[in-house]
Structure 1
Amino acid sequence: MRVITSVLAGLMLTAAVPATSAFAAEEAVGLVVGVRGEVDLPARAIETGTLPGALTVDVPRSRVAAVADELRADPAVAYVEPDHIAHAAAVVTPNDPYYAQQWGIAKTRVNTAWTASRGSAAITVAVVDTGVKRQPDLAANLLPGYDFVNSDTDPADDDGHGTMTAQVIAATPNNGAGVAGICWTCKILPVKVLGAGGSGSYSNIAAGIRYAADHGADIINLSLGGSSDSQVLRSAVAYAVSKNALVIAAAGNEGSAALHYPAAMPSVLAVGASTPGDARYPWSNYGASWADLAAPGCNPVLNTAGVLTNFCGTSSATPFASGVAALLVAAKPAATPATVRLALEKTAVKLAGNWLAAGSGRIDAAAALSTVRGQAIDVTGPAVTITRGAASGARVASTTPYGVRATDPSGVTRLELYVNGKVYQRVAGAAYTFAVPAWKFGKVVRVQAKAYDRLGNARFTPTRTWYR
């Protein structure tokens, strides 16, 4: 997702022209000039591109104000403004006060996935749990639900488990409060099937799964389970799958390979818990025959009293996976649950220990999202090289030409040459030859080139060092 910093974000320079001697030792600044007709450019301005109703020019930094005033005095000029630069953030960093403690976000590249998808209000994640409290950080994303424990329409949380689960999925990010949920605008459907002690009957859980499926849940989060298989649960899960819901369940916290239900059902995505070091938490259940995916098993949340708590367990890993799945569905609503599940499993980072299904691993949100979209998230700068110029260690006494060339799948917009750590010259385009007058710098001269692509990603060449 592009972060737009000006109305000119979509305007790209279209051509590069050789710099005159006026630019030989001074950084160029780009201006956009709105035109009503033919414009006579001031002597110190070099046209670099044309746009509908405008043109772009480069001007020496010391002459920007004077050239702008001269252009504005021309009746054929409608406006003059800087050619601002828009950047696509390689990662997104919300301002929530406890975001820095959410290690799982960066570990799984959720913050990279956010550059392409932050969710959608059209996506519903059902939290089939102890209910959900209407906290400030959740209120905007909370739908009406149902309480199967007390048989009423008030799925309030008298335990806290469901509220913490919902926060991992969809606590409102970037609001200066609490934590950042993974799916920024996804809706939470609260379905209470567990009581104040965190336990409940299989029949209530089955009823809750069916209710979620009937009320449009795209994803059904089950941070619960038991040691016994059950036909009533299997029937409910099959019903949800028939309604195109992806059912995701906790593998359990006994530190055992014993099957845990409903997670162990083949049609359910079973989630184990991984550490910051990509190991299995010792309390997480495991099993190459049935544990499908790992996700961060400890996530900071606010409890029902509003106090920061470290929410740990496969109950915490499961909503992490559900939040990422919701990002995928939001990015491509036509993606089927099977497609989303396959993307999560096949792009996961492989882990040691053989505790997960073969071919799976720890969730990688950015890779899974790229797979579902069929388009990679570009956070890589152009391939840029210096094609000619003095080699490192050379002695140079005169002006030295430096050829620079860059390539990038999304297109190269700008090249910069740095001399001794400062921008020496900036030009539009993907190839240029810069002239560096050795006599203008010290006895040690360090030269480095930098290229930008259309998404704002950038990359430097290695530094070349030469001497006078």
Structure 2
Amino acid sequence: MKKLLIAGFTAAIMGLGAITFAAPGTAAPQSSHIAGQIMIKFRDNGAAAGVLHQHGLSEGTGIGSTGAHLITVPAGKELQLIDALSQNPAVEYAEPDQLVSAASADQYFDRQYALQNTGQSFTNTAGTLVVAGGVADADVDAVEAWNVTSGSGIRVAVLDSGVTNDNDDITPKVVARANFSNGESGQDNYGHGTHVAGIVAATANNTIGVAGVCPGCTILDGKVLNDSGVGSSSGLANGINWAVSNGAQVINMSLGVRASRTLETAVNNAWSKGVVLVGAAGNGGNETKIYPGAYPNVIAVAATDNTDAKASFSTYGASWVDVAAPGVNVYSTFPKHTFVLGTQNNRSFGYDVGNGTSMSSPIVAATAALAWSSHPGATNTSVRANIESSADPISGTGTYWAHGRVNADRAVR
């Protein structure tokens, strides 16, 4: 019986390596305005073209009925041009085009840079700074995708250490449970599965906690890792079969094991039944393949940080890793009772950050669910193609991963 281990949080066997928690960075303070554009209103519209020409600019488009215009400017020159234009008597005002954040009712949403990154700094639940700034829009554009769909009606199977039964942000999203491990049924005493499930489908705008990438999705909780975070390839294969039988359209596997013909058969059977399968690439910081992520019918996911750089721990290799997604200091749900990862890492109960390709994989699984929801007549082949072709070609694309960092908004269009 082959043992399998999670692909996030802890030291792992089979080339997964150890996770190092990301230290606070030294990025520049966040910018509050959109790069490459400003807003300007003229007292004398007849002078507009001449004034703008003096600064090498062209007339822009009108902004509704405000009388102001949106002007394209060289990135990084916004404030300098605003200052110069404001001194011209023909200009009523010139100002930045400010970033606007979604008005979410979830108390920790501002810590979820993976969904919407404005370059924000944030702390963990204990109040320790874990992210000191980032790069605006180094995210998966989940908030924009929600203007198209929230993923309602899509079932995502989380094959992991279980989903807790005591966190109101994720527990009600579980519609079926099964246990393929020797751990406690109906509970997550390790913590990993609850964190992964919250990344997928935590309830949005309910005044508590966080929002999942696919907040309309429901969860099939297939417990394949026991209360120490260990399981078997046979248990995982059984979990895949159970997920397919219970209507999963997407299966997430944030774990790793050596190659197994039985496991590959289970994966291929699920694919032949029309399911999208997503797996973590691992945390070895090298190019060593882990499974099931490395099977051709699984989307293998590497990890990036809040600057769109490859996470130092992430396994990589464009020959088999398909896409990337945020996996550093990803904020999500945890159990509200004592659990192993909480004890090991002094985590507060309920919510906190996690690091690993284990966190990246469910972001992609949730994106797949959104794409299923938004494309009538979609197939697993078309959903996978949507995810890969719509990914943002960030640095490392073609070297560390084949297609780029996923973009949920582009995937649902």
Same fold (TM over 0.5): yes
Return the letter of the residue paired with 1:157: D
The alpha carbon displacement at 1:157 in A equals 1.0
1:223 to 251, 254, 279: 254
Distance (whole Å) between structure 2 residues aligned to residue 219 and residue 250 of structure 1: 14
For residue 178 of structure 1, what is the amino acid of its counterpart? G
3-state SS of 1:137 partner? coil
- Partner amino acid for 2:228? G
What is residue 270 of structure 2 aligned with on the other side? 240
Indicate whether 1:144 and 2:184 are aligned: no
Task: Tell me which amino acid in the other structure corresponds to 1:253.
Answer: N
SS of the residue aligned with 1:270? strand
Match of 2:145 in 1: 113
Task: Give the structure with the larger strand fraction.
Answer: 1
Going from structure 1 to structure 2, the CA distance change for 1:297 and 1:171 (only over 3 Å counts) comes to same
Give the counterpart of 1:250 among 280, 289, 303. Answer: 280
Quick one: which of 361, 364, 367 aligns to 2:410?
367
Note if contact 2:302-2:314 (Cα within 8 Å) is conserved in structure 1.
yes
Give the AA of the match of 2:112. Q
Q: 1:103 and 1:151, CA in 2 relative to 1: closer, same or farther beyond 3 A?
A: closer
3-state DSSP class of the match of 2:367?
helix
Task: Give the structure 1 partner of residue 207 of structure 2.
Answer: 176
2:357 aligned to 299, 308, 314, which one? 314
Matches within 5 A, 1:184-195: 184-195=215-226
Task: Give the Cα separation in 1 of the matches to 2:300 and 2:333.
Answer: 25
Q: Is the 8 A contact 1:132 1:157 kept in 2?
A: yes
- Retained in 2: the 8 A contact 1:272–1:314? yes
Does the 8 A contact of 1:251 with 1:314 survive in 2?
yes
Q: 1:340, 1:138 → 2: CA distance?
A: 25
TM-score (norm 2): 0.65
**Count of matched residue positions in the alignment of Structure 1 and Structure 2:** 277
Question: Contact conserved, 2:190 with 2:229, CA < 8 A, in 1?
Answer: yes
Q: Tell me the alpha carbon deviations over residues 186-242 of structure 1, each in whole angstroms, 9 at most, x when there is no partner.
A: 11000001111211111111111111011110000000012x211011010011112
Contact 1:131 1:156 in 2 (8 A): yes
Amino acid at match of 1:113: A
Is structure 2 residue 100 aligned with structure 1 residue 100? no
2:371 paired with 1:325: no
Alpha-carbon distance in structure 2 between the residues aligned to 1:211 and 1:202: 14
Match of 1:277 in 2: 307
Q: Secondary structure at the match of 2:213?
A: coil
Higher relative contact order (CA 8 A, sep 6+): 2
Q: TM-score, structure 1 length as denominator?
A: 0.57
Residues 178, 94 of structure 1: alpha-carbon distance in 2 compared, 3 angstrom cutoff:
same
SS of equivalent to 1:321: helix
2:294 maps to a residue whose letter is A
When Rg is computed on C-alpha atoms for both structures, the one with the higher figure is 1
Offset of residue 92 of structure 1: 4.5
CA 1:176 to 1:349, structure 2 compared with 1: closer, same or farther past 3 Å?
Answer: same
Give the aligned partner of residue 240 of structure 2.
Answer: 209
- The equivalences for 1:9-158 within 5 A come to 92-106=102-116, 107-120=139-152, 122-134=153-165, 135-150=167-182, 154-158=185-189
Q: Give, as a single letter, the amino acid of the residue that structure 1 aligns with 2:356.
A: G
Work out whether residues 175 and 220 of structure 2, in 8 Å CA contact, stay in contact via their aligned partners in 1: yes
Deviating above 4 A after TM superposition, structure 1's stretches of 4 or more consecutive aligned residues are: none
Cα gap change, 1:255 to 1:331, in 2 (>3 Å): same
Counterpart-to-counterpart distance in 2, 1:138 and 1:258: 33
Which amino acid is the alignment partner of residue 224 of structure 2? V
**Cα offset for 1:101?**
0.5
Residue identity matched to 1:102: Q
* Cα offset, 1:151, TM superposition: 8.8
Gaps spanning 5+ residues in structure 2: where?
1-99, 117-138, 337-348
SS in 2 for 1:145: strand
CA distance in 1 between partners of 2:367 and 2:101 (Å):
15
